[in-house]
């Protein structure tokens, strides 16, 4: 809190998801009923201290609905006033990976409904906007996550052999909840020492096998022939939730998105780039950072 400010001056931060599934040719979304408010809405809740919105969205969804989800493309952010304070809620579409509902202290019922029925059932008009945004998407999306290695020890002769320093290891650990929120099923890494060390916490936490691809290193990427880059584009466009670790991540983002990467995506720190694609088309682009990372 800044000097002169009170808690009422700062928004309450929350996050949630719109879980979806396909039944035949029909898309359905999950609504939850909260007896405290007697309303139908989507699972959401406040961020814990120091928690990132992506992690909170997954956690709150599981706490309220019992479902384990992986985040898909972001949906419109909600801003409104609750109990006299401004509130911000970040939402993502989400794919259900498992779990089942049991009534709890916050939610006593859930309902899977087609989009039109969900609109009619929702209590708040602002939630209907989320259904509209979901319906406008060209189809289910697959996230592609790109992570550049964190802070490394200086090496003048061969930067690719530079190990992470204490801050770099802390950055890799801090990014873990953000990366796992998208439920990656595949882990690909450059042969750079820093990238391999950055990927280690995810491999240890998920059991994913690290696939090594030297092209994800900036030196190899810069010298790769156009035909090799196109082969990589086809490779990563497969509908598998994939995370890529390597110093070429910002350049690869520009290439895959066919646009210049935003300047602040190349900060060399604890940041995550997420491309959401469907059938080879870019649907959404996210850039997440972790603040106040302290080396241990």
State the CATH number of the domain containing residue 259: 3.40.50.1240
Q: Are residues 127 and 83 in the same domain?
A: yes
> Is there a single domain that holds both residue 44 and residue 157?
no
- On whether both 198 and 181 belong to a single domain, the answer is yes
Q: Assess whether pLDDT exceeds 70 at residue 296.
A: no
* Burial bucket for residue 151 (CB in 10 Å: 0-12, 13-18, 19+): buried
Query: Both 124 and 23 in a single domain?
Result: yes
Same domain, yes or no: 14 and 116: yes
Confidence check: pLDDT of 190 > 90: yes
Please name every residue paired with 29 in a beta bridge, in sequence order, or none if there are none: 20, 113
Give the Cα-Cα-Cα angle 45, 49, 53 (nearest 5 degrees).
Answer: 50
> Does a structural domain hold residue 296?
no
Final residue in a domain of this structure, among 104, 136, 168? 136
Long-range contact pairs involving 279-287 (C-beta distance under 8 Å, separation at least 24): 279/138, 279/139, 280/237, 281/138, 282/256, 282/257, 282/258, 283/73, 283/137, 283/138, 283/141, 284/73, 284/74, 284/141, 285/253, 285/257, 286/74, 287/262
Domain count, the chain: 2
How confident is residue 282, by pLDDT bands cut at 50, 70 and 90?
confident
- The average pLDDT across 124-137 equals 95
Here the tokens at position 114 are 């087609």
- Shared-domain flag, residues 100 and 188: no
Give the distance from CA 53 to its chain's centroid.
Answer: 9
120 and 239 fall within a common domain: no
Question: Do residues 253 and 267 share a domain?
Answer: yes
Q: How confident is the model at residue 276, as a pLDDT?
A: 93
pLDDT at residue 159, rounded to an integer? 58
Domain range spanning residue 240? 142-289
Structure tokens at 235: 């490779």
Same domain (yes/no): 20, 132: yes
Same domain, 111 and 153: no
User: Nearest Cα to 208, choosing from 178, 232, 238, 184?
Assistant: 184
- Percentage with pLDDT > 70 across the chain: 90
211 pLDDT above the threshold of 90: yes
Q: Is residue 294 part of a domain?
A: no
pLDDT band at 261 (very low <50, low <70, confident <90, very high): very low
């Amino acid at each position: 809190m800044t000097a002169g400010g009170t808690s009422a001056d700062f928004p309450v931060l929350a996050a949630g998801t719109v879980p979806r599934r396909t039944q035949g040719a029909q898309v359905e979304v999950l609504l939850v009923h909260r007896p405290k408010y007697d309303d139908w809405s989507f699972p959401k809740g406040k961020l814990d201290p120091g928690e990132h919105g992506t992690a909170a969205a997954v956690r709150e969804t599981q706490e309220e609905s019992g479902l384990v989800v992986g985040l898909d493309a972001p949906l419109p952010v909600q801003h409104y006033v609750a109990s006299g304070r401004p509130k911000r809620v970040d939402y993502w579409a989400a794919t259900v990976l498992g779990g089942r509902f049991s009534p709890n202290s916050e939610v006593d019922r859930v309902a899977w409904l087609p989009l039109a029925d969900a609109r009619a059932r929702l209590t708040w008009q602002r939630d209907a906007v989320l259904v509209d945004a979901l319906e406008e998407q060209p189809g289910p999306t697959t996230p592609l996550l790109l992570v550049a290695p964190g802070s490394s020890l200086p090496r003048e002769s061969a930067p690719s052999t530079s190990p992470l320093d204490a801050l770099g290891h802390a950055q890799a650990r801090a990014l873990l909840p953000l990366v796992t929120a998208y439920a990656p099923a595949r882990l690909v890494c450059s042969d750079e020492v820093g990238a391999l060390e950055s990927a280690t916490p995810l491999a240890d936490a998920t059991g994913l096998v690290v696939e090594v691809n030297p092209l994800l290193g900036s030196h190899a990427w810069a010298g790769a022939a156009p035909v090799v880059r196109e082969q990589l584009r086809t490779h990563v466009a497969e509908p598998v939730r994939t995370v890529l670790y390597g110093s070429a991540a910002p350049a690869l983002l520009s290439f895959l998105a066919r646009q210049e990467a935003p300047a602040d995506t190349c900060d060399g720190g604890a940041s995550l780039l997420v491309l959401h694609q469907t059938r080879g088309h870019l649907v959404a682009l996210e850039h997440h950072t972790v603040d106040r990372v302290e080396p241990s």
